[in-house]
Amino acid sequence: MFIKKMITILKKYIIKHFDTISFDIFDTLIERDVNIPSDIFYKVGLKILGKNEAETFRKDRIEAEEKARKSKLGGEVTLEEIYLLLPSKYYNKLDVLLRTEIETEISLCHAKENIVSLLKELNGSKKIFLISDMYLPKEVIKKMLDKCNIHGYNNIYVSNEYGINKISGRLFIKVFSVEKINPKRHLHIGDSIKADFLGAYRAGAHSYHIKRKSRLIRIFNK
């Protein structure tokens, strides 16, 4: 009851003060059925490589992503670029590992109902955009949204398609340019203080920060 009342209040505030709105996707509209994102990698390793290699694959997958991001000097990376930096022992199984990661992401996601309810409430009254810093391809993210019955948005912008991210503010600026959005009349909703709150601020827009599931667990398991 309290959450429903808060959504109604927030909806009225948004309609009154903003022309356009955007949502982050992961941990905002969609949550995974795991405690931390790297649990996905463990499950992939467990399925393809077996129990003895699952934790090693998790660590190698994390390190490969870190290397890929460093090589881009602050830009965004794709899932394929990450997998190409895995140790050579995985080379004969790269395709099946990558495919399994995508399948696992799709199977282990659910809607964050309170925020999705807000999106549905705003559908029809405002233009809605989804903006994500993510290595997964847009078509995979669309499948995840469809699985979670999340519709009613005008467009999706994913960082790896443009080589820029939200944290720098550059992806927001790109969206505002393409969609002819006035940042001063735009509100972005997301769970990340750095990417969503500060990123939107750097682009001259407003932002609304929401809580993330298992925040402390994720901090201590980095």
Tens-place pLDDT, residues 129-154: 999 999 999 999 999 999 999 999 99
The per-residue pLDDT for 3 is 62
In angstroms, rounded to a whole number, what is the distance separating the alpha carbons of residues 34 and 31?
8
Cα Rg of the chain, angstroms: 18
Distances (CA, A) of 176 to 20, 52, 120, 172, 181: 10, 48, 22, 6, 5
> How many CB atoms sit inside 10 A of residue 147's CB?
14
Query: Which residues are within 8 A (CB) of 73 and not within 5 positions of it... i.e. 6 or more apart?
Result: none
Q: What is the pTM of this model?
A: 0.90
Identify the residue whose tokens are 């909806």: 11
Q: Beta strand 30-32 with 109-111: parallel, antiparallel or unpaired?
A: antiparallel
pLDDT digit string (tens) for 163-216?
Answer: 999 999 999 999 999 999 999 999 999 999 999 999 999 999 999 999 876 543
Partners of 130 in beta bridges: 23, 156
Domain boundaries, the chain: 2-33+111-212, 39-107
Class of domain 2-33+111-212: alpha beta
Query: Which residues are within 8 A (CB) of 150 and not within 5 positions of it... i.e. 6 or more apart?
Result: 29, 30, 111, 116, 119
